A and B are shown apart, each in its own frame.
Chain A
């Protein structure tokens, strides 16, 4: 008896198709739905106008993250529009019976940090959120992708979206990472090679020894930025590292239910010989600490390389003018003004530990302001319990309260116009960190090195004989 050979993506996708008809997109079932204050109010409004209700309130989880201040969270939000948006979320959750981890709740945090850390995100699930970085959850071997507000409304009302099956891409990276190279460097490297549009229309599976050796936190960083190369999402087959991470978390299955889920989870891998629409291979040894120079995440280079020249499209020239940099220059030594360590890409406890370990007994440069924004209340509590807050304090780094913060600068955390920020976030678009701000995307280690020297720095030169886990 021969069974059809399938990719991991196909296995999960096919299991969630409620109805498939030739002329229409598939009716696609959603297991978990995360919502936040920015992309949900118009969806709830739509439900009210149409006289609809939330079909499965227990499958939707809400938190306030995009708009929240990162200082004095116990006080009312000062900025009126942000306050109204957060209050609207609270009212909507109450009216429709949805659990909310709002400001002050011990589970509050960035939606893509809390889902995994609470064990809500599980292998083989379908997960959506009105946020493009929903791809993060793919690290657990789930199909997770961002949707617009109209679709948020549809999921609330029916627990389904209409979906046309995307193409599949396999990105395989084998070999060992060099010292000072983290998972953030892997994904920035991949995007720099295939461009900010290189995976549009595809769902990506990451595999190879350089991926399977990564921790869950590091895998989340990779999947998080799948959208930055245009991919609908990215996923990694679950393994012992995944199961070990999940075990014992609040919403993870327990007892018999765990065994039942494990039976399903253990089927979640791409069958040998499964065919992908596109396959790309990389060698981990080729990757050095990465830094972006331009205004999309595909504009990245290894730290020892020079900024490339324009390819005739005018895109690099335009970016150079915005960044006030020049093609042919090396970025090492470039003076900076801010360092932001946070966002759904790099704000987990492992990221904070890595930074603390590096800055222990060091101090930030005088010309730099350093913000560390933990991804969740739990990450914040853990950091304090481990004494990381004291290390940051001594180093002159400011440990703030959880939220999306300077990744998209919807709250007060803005980089001023013309200033340079080395950021562990995911987007270096014009004005992303505040109108006129100039962003260099990098790993937490490269960001920490820049904080200490006040300049863009090749972290490997500061690492003498220290080994850092990825």
Chain B
């Protein structure tokens, strides 16, 4: 799905080092399709052992909503499970903002139409504060211009030009790689491990 410019509210999750086992616990990785992971997103933070909602967890607090997740540093560390990106996307998140992301998660997010935005620590504390004061704070995401803004201030972010184009146009890496069949086969003729 092409990624357009949009404005939305955000969900704050200030925890640091949120690992992929928290985003989607291993016991929910038994599916053979990509659908339906959103209901188990942050499962053990969201529900108790009996399946009741934990009222102190942000996804269970109705004052917070929106397709933007604002979170602490090193989000998505741990396992390579793309199920973490599928769960976030299935739940409805389109953007995650953090001081930085684990490498594999970042790739997985981009491959699933989720935009990871890296912000500095000062900006992060401002946005957390803004949402705390007013949960209806609107954030504008402007991918084409690599900018995002809230409270009348605008911040820039960086994204690889190729990844940006893929997101905006809804392309994926597969089409590009398949188009490289010729060069790949040529490479193989000379390569030691082929």
**In the complex, A229→B160 CA distance in Å?**
24
Q: Are A296 and B27 in contact (CB under 8 A)?
A: no
List the 8 closest A-B pairs by CB distance, nearest first.
Answer: A148-B82, A146-B80, A81-B30, A41-B32, A148-B108, A197-B74, A31-B193, A150-B111
At the interface, yes or no: A378 with Cβ under 8 Å from chain B?
no
A-to-B contact residues, CB < 8 Å: 15, 18-19, 23-25, 27, 29, 31-32, 38-39, 41-42, 45-46, 50, 52, 55, 66-67, 81-82, 84-85, 88, 122, 124-125, 130-132, 134, 145-151, 153-154, 157-162, 164, 166, 196-197, 200-201, 227, 230, 232, 260-261, 264, 296, 298, 313, 315, 318, 408-410, 417, 427, 429-432, 435-436
Closest to A299 in B: B17
At the interface, yes or no: B79 with Cβ under 8 Å from chain A?
yes
Q: 8 Å CB contacts to A: which residues of B101-115?
A: 101-104, 107-108, 111-112
At the interface, yes or no: B162 with Cβ under 8 Å from chain A?
yes
A123 CB, nearest partner CB in chain B, Å: 11
Closest to A409 in B: B26
Q: Are B162 and A84 in contact (CB under 8 A)?
A: no
The listed residue with most A CB atoms (<10 A of its CB), out of B22, B176, B193, is B193
Contact status of A149 and B193, CB under 8 A, knowing A24-B162, A45-B32: no
**In the complex, A154→B79 CA distance in Å?**
19
Contact status of A410 and B30, CB under 8 A, knowing A25-B162, A150-B112: yes
Closest to A155 in B: B177
**In the complex, A52→B160 CA distance in Å?**
27
Q: 8 Å CB contacts to A: which residues of B1-47?
A: 15-17, 19, 21-22, 25-27, 29-34, 44
Closest to A92 in B: B32
Q: Are A313 and B16 in contact (CB under 8 A)?
A: yes
B105 CB, nearest partner CB in chain A, Å: 8
Among B59-67, B88-96, B129-137, B184-192, the stretch in contact with A: B184-192
Q: Are A19 and B183 in contact (CB under 8 A)?
A: yes
B103 CB, nearest partner CB in chain A, Å: 5
Contact status of A27 and B183, CB under 8 A, knowing A230-B103, A431-B21: yes
A227 CB, nearest partner CB in chain B, Å: 8
A sample of 11 more A-B contacts (CB under 8 A), given A82-B30, A84-B30, A264-B192, is A18-B183, A29-B191, A46-B174, A66-B29, A131-B79, A148-B104, A157-B174, A158-B180, A296-B17, A318-B15, A435-B49
What residues of chain A lie closer than 8 Å to B82, measured between beta carbons? 39, 42, 130, 148-150
What residues of chain A lie closer than 8 Å to B194, measured between beta carbons? 31
**In the complex, A260→B44 CA distance in Å?**
53
What residues of chain A lie closer than 8 Å to B34, measured between beta carbons? 42, 149
Contact status of A162 and B173, CB under 8 A, knowing A132-B79, A148-B107, A230-B103: yes
At the interface, yes or no: B77 with Cβ under 8 Å from chain A?
yes
What residues of chain A lie closer than 8 Å to B162, measured between beta carbons? 23-25, 162
**In the complex, A27→B162 CA distance in Å?**
12
At the interface, yes or no: B161 with Cβ under 8 Å from chain A?
yes
A298 CB, nearest partner CB in chain B, Å: 8
**In the complex, A32→B191 CA distance in Å?**
13
Q: Are B180 and A160 in contact (CB under 8 A)?
A: yes
Contact status of A197 and B73, CB under 8 A, knowing A18-B183, A38-B29: yes
B180 CB contact (under 8 Å) in A19, A23, A32 = A19
At the interface, yes or no: B149 with Cβ under 8 Å from chain A?
no
Closest to B26 in A: A408
**In the complex, A82→B19 CA distance in Å?**
23
Q: Are A429 and B22 in contact (CB under 8 A)?
A: yes
What residues of chain B lie closer than 8 Å to A124, measured between beta carbons? 192-193
A154 CB contact (under 8 Å) in B26, B29, B108, B177 = B177
B122 CB, nearest partner CB in chain A, Å: 15
Q: Are A148 and B80 in contact (CB under 8 A)?
A: yes
**In the complex, A430→B25 CA distance in Å?**
9
**In the complex, A264→B162 CA distance in Å?**
34
Closest to A202 in B: B103
Q: Are A151 and B111 in contact (CB under 8 A)?
A: yes
What residues of chain A lie closer than 8 Å to B193, measured between beta carbons? 31-32, 122, 124-125
At the interface, yes or no: B181 with Cβ under 8 Å from chain A?
yes
A220 CB, nearest partner CB in chain B, Å: 18
**In the complex, A24→B166 CA distance in Å?**
11
B174 CB contact (under 8 Å) in A39, A55, A154, A261 = A154
Q: Are A160 and B44 in contact (CB under 8 A)?
A: no
B132 CB, nearest partner CB in chain A, Å: 15
Report B147-166 CB contacts with A as 1/0, cut-off 8 Å. 00000000000001111000
What residues of chain A lie closer than 8 Å to B16, measured between beta carbons? 313, 315
**16 A-B contacts, Cβ less than 8 Å apart?**
A18-B187, A23-B161, A45-B33, A82-B30, A124-B193, A125-B193, A148-B80, A161-B177, A166-B103, A201-B103, A227-B78, A296-B19, A315-B16, A409-B26, A410-B29, A410-B30
What residues of chain B lie closer than 8 Å to A436, measured between beta carbons? 44, 49
**In the complex, A18→B17 CA distance in Å?**
35
B25 CB contact (under 8 Å) in A23, A82, A296, A435 = A435
At the interface, yes or no: B138 with Cβ under 8 Å from chain A?
no
What residues of chain B lie closer than 8 Å to A296, measured between beta carbons? 17, 19, 77
Q: Are B183 and A409 in contact (CB under 8 A)?
A: no
**In the complex, A164→B191 CA distance in Å?**
21
B177 CB contact (under 8 Å) in A146, A149, A160, A232 = A160
